[in-house]
Homo-oligomer: A and B are copies of this chain.
Amino acid sequence: MAIGLGPLPEMLPVNGFRLGTASAGVKTPGRQDLVVMELAAGCRVAAVFTRNRFCAAPVLLAREHLQEQAPRYLLVNTGNANAGTGERGLRDARACCEALAERAGVDAGQVLPFSTGVIGEPLPVDRIRAGLPAALAALSERGWAEAAAGILTTDTVPKGASVRLQLDGGPVTITGIAKGAGMIRPDMATMLAFIATDAALPQGLLDQALRDAVRYSFNRITVDGDTSTNDACVLVATGAAGVNLSEEGSPGYRHFVAALADVCRTLAQAIIRDGEGVTRFITVAIEGGATESECEAVAYTIAHSPLVKTAAFAGDPNWGRILAAIGRAGLDDLDVNGVRIWLDDYLIAEQGGRAEYYQESEAAARMAREEITIRVDLARGGAEATVWTTDFSYDYVRINAEYRS
């Protein structure tokens, strides 16, 4: 059950960027599981990848291809991550790129591969190869919704965001899709996200815009603390709108970056709202820290605590568990008497214990909501950090205990 996620918004097409989705039977026969994205000549591409040391073959190859040539195609399959597959995995990923390149009349180095799904199974290259004609035939600038569905694994709903900005040079569109839903935490998790814009940016600014947007969106979400071998987030700028954003300080660039950050945050939060077994969408907001990094440490310690997460599942305002998590977050000189904790706007703990006017019924009413904010004031500085996470439910266990069977 996804929390607060409606149907996809209107997915505005991005001139110069086409998507085609098909069924290749990678894991489940009949399932739409193969997505090809076509970039018009002259597009610029920025990408960030997982920092897991065991990164998957497609990640290794996509990184390599990005360094060599301007990409013309993105090739995405779900159902199989092509991770933990050693040398064979690299050969398989390369074979898929070659098959697409041959049909499309480009170099194999102009294809970036992406895979998500089960780890450690050989990629069924023949099935992917056989699915390519249908995916290519389906290419359309209006193919976003099908692609959003075609990249999912254990997600229950497709995730997308789309905005149109009015800049000085004219209108600019940003449209993106993403998938989760387990093995999520900072450093890019098991997540895939593809975002396109028709604005034109020089490579350096495009890279920087993506890094900044990812930092406070995809890198601030966690389901279970497990990072994945396959995470990737790609931003394509087609330039087709004829709007040039080449000055870092310009109002246009700043407007664009803010909108891109919004799109990324919407997609990142959608991943959490549809996290495995989720019954609550939890915002952990830390303020009053000495540094941003210590705020992050506290936020993630709370967000990863199985005891906090099971209490949230139960709708139990068990502030003692929040307090214990703060206490083990590594802030050795923390003055525990200064710390205050709120559920939404309701003060529940202060001076090392329960807040003076605390009422269990008031706290329980807030913890029972589908969307909860745990706010903590560390009272030792002006830094802050916010992360988004899920609760821990029976369904989380069920989904991850049954995933391979």
- Interface residues of chain A, those whose CB is within 8 Å of chain B, are 51-55, 81, 83-89, 118-120, 182-183, 187, 224-229, 304-307, 310-311, 313-314, 316, 318-321, 323-328, 331-332, 334, 336-337, 349, 351-354, 392-394, 396-398, 400-405
Contact = CB atoms under 8 A, between A and B. Distances in A.
A402 B52 CA distance: 35
Given A316-B405, A324-B226, A397-B393, A352 B86 contact: yes
Q: Which of A87, A321, A392 has the most CB of B within 10 A?
A: A321
B52 A327 contact: yes
A349 B305 contact: no
Given A120-B354, A314-B402, A320-B118, A306 B86 contact: no
A324 B118 contact: no
Given A305-B225, A336-B53, A353-B84, A313 B119 contact: no
Nearest to A227: B328
A310 B226 CA distance: 12
A229 B400 CA distance: 30
Nearest to A55: B327
B306 A400 contact: yes
Contacts of A81: 320
12 contacts: A52-B324, A54-B327, A54-B352, A84-B352, A85-B354, A86-B354, A119-B320, A120-B319, A226-B324, A310-B401, A394-B394, A394-B397
Contact of A324 (B183, B310, B336): B183
How many copies the complex holds: the figure is: 2
A119 B323 contact: yes
B393 A84 contact: no
Nearest to A398: B394
A89 B404 CA distance: 49
A121 B114 CA distance: 51
A318 to B, nearest CB: 6
A247 to B, nearest CB: 35
Contacts of A120: 318-320, 323, 349, 353-354
A349 B120 CA distance: 9
Given A319-B84, A324-B226, A325-B226, A397 B310 contact: yes
Nearest to A404: B316
Closest 7 CB pairs of A and B: A119-B320, A86-B353, A54-B327, A314-B401, A310-B400, A53-B327, A52-B327
Contacts of A228: 324
B331 A53 contact: yes
Given A53-B336, A120-B353, A310-B397, 18 more contacts: A53-B334, A54-B324, A54-B352, A86-B351, A86-B354, A88-B353, A119-B321, A119-B323, A183-B324, A187-B328, A224-B305, A225-B306, A226-B325, A228-B324, A229-B320, A229-B323, A311-B401, A314-B402
A69 B306 CA distance: 39
A224 B324 CA distance: 13
Contacts of A323: 54, 84, 119-120, 229
A169 to B, nearest CB: 42
Contacts of A354: 84-86, 120
A401 to B, nearest CB: 4
A371 to B, nearest CB: 19
Contacts of A397: 310, 313, 392-394, 396-397
